[in-house]
Amino acid sequence: MKQWIAMIMTLALIPFYLSVSGCLDGQDTDPYSDPSFHDWRLTLNGTDTRVLTLAELRSLPRAEGHGYCVSTTGFRFGPYECAGVDLRELVSLAGGMHPNDTIWISAPDGYLWVFDTEQLEGNGFITFDENLSEIPSPPLRIILMYEQDGKPLAYDDGGPARIAIISREPGIITEGSAWVKWVDTIEIRSNKG
């Protein structure tokens, strides 16, 4: 009888062993349990300055759509169901922008990308179909994505928040260089001219 109890205990401990050996890492764990997600802040710098927590970001009006991007060497990422906050909403919180201003999006890994006002309205992007053939661009939106395929955006995918360019139609691929991962700062810069 003791032997059977020991055997049952051994089997019951398997999940613990798996966890110890790293086999369950990242599987169905809450991405927000990562302490760095709790410490994450988004700084909005314009004529006004705001600092948002992840919860505050998620409380802003939600924008949803299909996102799909391609790297400079032709590697596709997606398609994804994306949810986040429209970049125009965040620009507005920073005090808005003028026609010649630019939006500087940066991350702690040292990556930076810049959008202009035309792009903020979803214009001026190159779009492709699934075969990477260029197609006319449907209406697009730039969002700061915090949710991908119904789940909080994981760190490896650029979480807690990254830029995504979304459309209502599925299968629209955009160039991936603008999809900044791990965004923590959005700055509006004034350009004379």
14 binds other proteins (CB under 8 A): yes
The letter for the amino acid at 86 is: D
13 binds other proteins (CB under 8 A): yes
Given candidates 64, 66, 95, 113, which one binds other proteins under the rule CB under 8 A? 113
For residue 74, the minimal CB distance to other proteins (Å) is 4
Long-range contacts of 108-112 (CB under 8 A, 24+ apart): 108/182, 108/184, 109/181, 109/182, 111/180, 111/181, 111/182, 112/180
Tell which positions 46-85 bind other proteins, by CB under 8 A: 71-75
CB 49 within 8 A of CB 74: no
Q: Closer to other proteins by CB, 64 or 175: give it.
A: 175
8 binds other proteins (CB under 8 A): no
- In sequence order, which residues have a C-beta less than 8 Å from that of residue 147 and are 6 or more positions away? 82, 83, 84, 153
CB 26 within 8 A of CB 168: no
Per CB under 8 A, the segment of 1-9, 57-65, 76-84, 161-169 that binds other proteins is 1-9
Distance of CA 148 to the CA centre of its chain: 8
Given candidates 35, 61, 150, 193, which one binds other proteins under the rule CB under 8 A? 193
Tell which positions 170-189 bind other proteins, by CB under 8 A: 175-177
Bridge partners of 148? 82, 151
Residues contributing to the site for other proteins (CB under 8 A): 2-3, 6-7, 10, 13-14, 17-18, 20-23, 71-75, 102, 104, 109-116, 118-119, 124, 126, 128, 132-134, 175-177, 191, 193
